[in-house]
Chain A
Amino acid sequence: MSNETAVSQVDKPEKRDPLGPLFWVCVGWATLTILASLLANWLPIESPITQDYTALNQGPTLHHLLGTDDLGRDILARIIFGGRISIGVGFGAMAIGFGIGAPLGMLTAYRRGRLDTIVTSVMYMLLAFPAIIATIAILSFWVPRALPKIIVVIGLASVPLVYRVIRTATLNVAAKDYVVAAKVQGASDRRILLKELLPNIFPIAISFLLIGIATVISLEGALAFLGLSVNPPTPSWGNMINEARTVLSTDPWLVIFPSLALCLFLLCLNFIGDRLRSYFDVTEVKL
């Protein structure tokens, strides 16, 4: 009551912070990248593994738009195909993480009781293991390497964290008065989950999902540096950068282009996730 001023009497509700043009630019770029990777096989580009000995280590030319590497492979093609690995790992691992962690988190947060205590304790124990170390340890012991294995290991390693985030979010929403009111009015559990909880958890979940994908893609890059990602000649953004490290002083393009592809995609994902979060958080102080 005390801070009421005349401003609070404005009839029009405060407009939500619009998403802004930069947001849509990022959506556009991200979609473009994903589409390019998905449709890679049908695009009019070179194969990423053909070696063209007539054009070694070239800078950008008309034929090879982003140049070639030291084995004559077209960089643009490798980046597009490499995107499949990196983006695939990102989305795949998060699909597993969310597919398992999110429903579990919501259910246990809503139902509480013994199931909640057991599952939560287990998850928090698992969280104590630094996920990175666990991922590296498992991936290094579990040879031979394959893309599905990488996705599964990272995915499972992310389950405890997803679980915790979704569970906390659900707990916060479930404690709100309108959920309690729905319960008192006799709404079925299923209805409450779908109509009251899910829509309110959705913004946080989406934002975390996007940031999670970005983190996993970054992780794949780090794994590539340790030789724990896909084997050559299959390109991924991570191992392209890693392979080109040694010739950094002479052919910086080999590092810069894949790095740009990776960083721009991550930037877009992070930005979209961040904007969505502040767009949906109507209680945040607008400054």
Chain B
Amino acid sequence: MSENVLVVENLATTFHTKGGPVPAVGGVSFSLGPNETLGIVGESGSGKTVLSRTIMGLQPRTNVEVTGSVLLNGHQMVGVSEDEKRKHWATEVAMVFQDPMTSLNPVMRVGKQIDEVLRVRLGMPKDAAKARAIELLRLVGIPSPEERYSAYPGQLSGGMRQRVVIAIALACSPSLLMADEPTTGLDVTIQAQILNLIEQIKNDLNMSVILVTHDLGVVATRTTRLIVMYAGRIVEIGTTRDVFKDHRMPYTRALLESSPRVSNASHTRLQAIPGRPPNLLKLDQGCAFAPRCAFATQKCHEERPELEETGTPGHLFACWNPLTTKIGA
């Protein structure tokens, strides 16, 4: 029986700002087994990035309050000291950041940035670390890795930089890879390459992956399970297939329908979701999506729905007035 790589229970992150407390993430619970890929989708401001950082323990140190539990390979990551968390960074969980231009140190050669994590975390001697770094560069598909080893980030293209970031993340063979919008800043053609790379590596190294993105096209084919977030809370969670084809929460449908599809006829009108994401400082009672929901009832405005299961185990949604149609045959 394989242990769960990640068990998250009731995770909540609150920012204490001058204007008051901001509940960026609330009531998040899920678990992730080995070799699974979990997608987290939502609009900007849905809390998905805060969630990914909090799971890792990378949230800012001041004015932030985190409650709940995050068990990474059995180790608790919430409410422990930075030193404790640090033990598991890079060796058990690693992160791929969104913008490779800003996530690589611009004045340090890329080879050194990979070396560093091998020498400091794994205790490798200098030569062995360099050899392994070159090997990692080759693994992530960078041509002429021996030459690129001494390059500065500014001398590489966007796609190559992101590959370097991935190489750094893999260096200590973590069991969990958090990819926070890894392709958003890249050209469309490169996006597919990077995502394929992540998938290939995941299979080769037996990793689990959490893929955070706002792009539904990305999660459709590459994730086994999917979390939909809105206003910092999970509004639907299940297998990707279930969420796409049998979703219950109206927000999920709105999200799916707002993605333009190549298969649509030309001049099809873009379906935007009316209204704006809510101001988390002033959340009303009731469902956060209610003001924008076409199916909202009185109850939706008054009471916030909890997650409940559909017939299928593992498929949960939070809605008083769920959709009941199933799409497709």
Contacts and interface: CB of A to CB of B under 8 A. Distances in A.
Interface of A: 1-12
23 contacts: A1-B98, A1-B214, A2-B49, A2-B98, A2-B180, A2-B184, A4-B45, A5-B15, A5-B22, A5-B45, A5-B49, A5-B50, A6-B22, A6-B24, A6-B45, A6-B280, A7-B17, A7-B22, A9-B277, A10-B17, A10-B281, A11-B279, A12-B19
A7 B15 contact: yes
| Chain B facing A: main interface SS | loop
B284 interface: no
The 10 closest A-B pairs by CB, nearest first: A6-B280, A2-B98, A6-B24, A6-B22, A4-B44, A9-B279, A5-B50, A5-B24, A4-B45, A2-B181
B159 interface: no
B47 interface: yes
A11 to B, nearest CB: 6
Contacts, number: 51
Contacts of A4: 44-45, 49
A3 B45 CA distance: 9
B243 to A, nearest CB: 22
A6 B15 contact: yes
A200 to B, nearest CB: 26
Contacts of B214: 1
Given A1-B98, A2-B99, A10-B281, 15 more contacts: A1-B44, A1-B214, A2-B181, A2-B184, A5-B15, A5-B24, A5-B50, A6-B22, A6-B24, A7-B17, A7-B22, A9-B45, A9-B278, A9-B281, A10-B17
Contacts of A9: 45, 277-281
B17 to A, nearest CB: 6
Contacts of B97: 2
A7 B50 CA distance: 11
Interface in B59-108: 97-99
Contacts of A10: 17, 19, 22, 279, 281
A4 B42 CA distance: 12
B153 interface: no
Contacts of B277: 9
Tell me what chain A mostly uses at the interface: helix, strand, loop, or mixed.
Answer: loop
Interface in B175-227: 180-181, 184, 214
Question: Considering residues A2, A4, A6, which has the most beta carbons from chain B within 10 angstroms of its beta carbon?
Answer: A6
B39 interface: no
B33 to A, nearest CB: 27
A8 B22 CA distance: 10
A58 B214 CA distance: 80
Nearest to A2: B98
Contact of A6 (B23, B99, B180): B23
B232 interface: yes
A11 B19 CA distance: 10
A148 B151 CA distance: 58
Contacts of B278: 9
A14 to B, nearest CB: 9
Contacts of B50: 5-6
Contacts of B23: 6
Contacts of A7: 15, 17, 22, 24
A6 B43 CA distance: 12
A6 B47 contact: yes
A40 B227 CA distance: 77
Contacts of A5: 15, 22, 24, 45, 47, 49-50
B169 to A, nearest CB: 16
Interface string B11-34: 000010101001110000000000
A12 B17 CA distance: 13
Contacts of B45: 4-6, 8-9
Contacts of A8: 45
A248 to B, nearest CB: 49
A7 B24 CA distance: 8
Nearest to A8: B45
Nearest to B99: A2
Contacts of B181: 1-2
A285 to B, nearest CB: 13
A2 B46 CA distance: 11
Contacts of A12: 19
